[in-house]
Amino acid sequence: MFIENIDLVYFRNFIKKSYTFSKDINIFVGPNGKGKTNLLESLYLLSSTSSFRITTPGCFINNNSESNYSSIIAKLNNKSLTELRILFEENKKKYFVHNKPSSFKKFQSIKAIVFNPESLYSVKGSSESKRQIIDEILCSMSLNNNEIYINFKKILKQRNALFFDCKKEKITYEKAKLLKPSLDEIFINCAAQLTNLRLEILKNIHGFFQDTFSSIYHTKKAKVDFNYTISSIKANDWTEGEISLFLKHKIKEKEAAEWAYGSSLVGPHKHEISFLMNGEDARYYSSQGQQKTLILSLKISQMMYYYEVNKSYPILLLDDVHSELDYTVRQYLMRFLNNLKTQIFLTTTDIQFLEGFGKKGKIFTIK
Ligand SMILES: Nc1ncnc2c1ncn2[C@@H]1O[C@H](COP(=O)(O)OP(=O)(O)OP(=O)(O)O)[C@@H](O)[C@H]1O
Ligand SMILES: [Mg+2]
Measured between its terminal Cα atoms, the distance across the chain in Å is 29
Residues 158 and 250 in one domain: yes
Which of 242, 267, 285 terminates a domain? The answer is 285
pLDDT of residue 354: 73
CA distances, 26 to each of 21, 33, 40, 361 (Å): 7, 19, 11, 6
pLDDT tens digit sequence for 279-294:
999 999 999 999 999 9
pLDDT of residue 199: 98
Residue 81 lies in a domain: yes
Residue 296 lies in a domain: no
d(CA 83, CA 99): 8
What is the span of the domain harbouring residue 36?
2-111+312-365
Please give the distance, rounded to the nearest whole angstrom, from the Cα atom of residue 33 to the centre of ligand 2: 7
Atom 18 in ligand 1: which residue has the minimum CA distance?
A: 35
Residue 300 lies in a domain: no
pLDDT of residue 240: 98
The amino acid that residue 59 corresponds to is: C
Residues 129 and 252 in one domain: yes
The string of DSSP codes covering 70-102 is: EEEEEEEE-SS--EEEEEEETTEEEEEETTEEE
Give the number of other Cβ atoms within 10 Å of residue 354's Cβ: 16
The amino acid that residue 225 corresponds to is: D
Residues 75 and 161 in one domain: no
pLDDT of residue 220: 75
Atom 9 in ligand 1: which residue has the minimum CA distance?
A: 12
Best mutation site among 14, 37, 350 for ligand 1 pocket (most ligand atoms within 8 Å of CB): 37
Residue 221 lies in a domain: yes
Please give the distance, rounded to the nearest whole angstrom, from the Cα atom of residue 39 to the centre of ligand 2: 9
Atom 11 in ligand 1: which residue has the minimum CA distance?
A: 13
Residues 154 and 227 in one domain: yes
Residues 165 and 102 in one domain: no
Positions in the chain whose pLDDT score sits under 50? none
Based on DSSP, count helices (H) and strands (E) in the chain, helices before strands. 10, 15
Query: Given the CA of residue 41, which atom of ligand 1 is nearest to it?
Result: 18
Please give the distance, rounded to the nearest whole angstrom, from the Cα atom of residue 140 to the centre of ligand 2: 24
pLDDT of residue 184: 97
CA distances, 358 to each of 31, 78, 329 (Å): 22, 26, 17
Best mutation site among 9, 10, 12 for ligand 1 pocket (most ligand atoms within 8 Å of CB): 12
**CATH number for the domain including 25?**
3.40.50.300
* Helix 288-310 × helix 127-141 angle, to 10°: 20
Q: Which ligand is nearest to the CA of 31?
A: 1
Query: Given the CA of residue 40, which atom of ligand 1 is nearest to it?
Result: 18
Residue 145 lies in a domain: yes
Atom 26 in ligand 1: which residue has the minimum CA distance?
A: 32
**CATH number for the domain including 147?**
1.20.1050.90
What are the two backbone dihedrals, phi and then psi, of residue 340, each rounded to the nearest 5 degrees? -75, 150
Residues 171 and 268 in one domain: yes
Q: Is the CB of 62 under 6 A from ligand 1?
A: yes
Q: Is 19 helix (H, G, I), strand (E, B) or coil?
A: strand
d(CA 367, CA 364): 10
Whole-model pTM above 0.85? Answer: yes
Residues 21 and 164 in one domain: no
Which of 285, 300, 321 terminates a domain? The answer is 285
Q: Please count the structural domains in the chain.
A: 2
What are the two backbone dihedrals, phi and then psi, of residue 27, each rounded to the nearest 5 degrees? -120, 120
Residues 271 and 176 in one domain: yes
Are the beta carbons of 235 and 243 closer than 8 angstroms?
yes
Residues 271 and 158 in one domain: yes
Q: Is the CB of 35 under 6 A from ligand 1?
A: yes
pLDDT of residue 91: 85
Residues 351 and 223 in one domain: no
The string of DSSP codes covering 139-198 is: HHH-HHHHHHHHHHHHHHHHHHHHHHHHHTTSS-HHHHHHHHHHHHHHHHHHHHHHHHHH
Query: For residue 86, which of 66, 65, 106 has the smallest C-alpha distance?
Result: 106
pLDDT of residue 138: 94
Please give the distance, rounded to the nearest whole angstrom, from the Cα atom of residue 39 to the centre of ligand 1: 9
pLDDT tens digit sequence for 307-328:
999 999 999 999 999 888 888 8
pLDDT of residue 322: 87
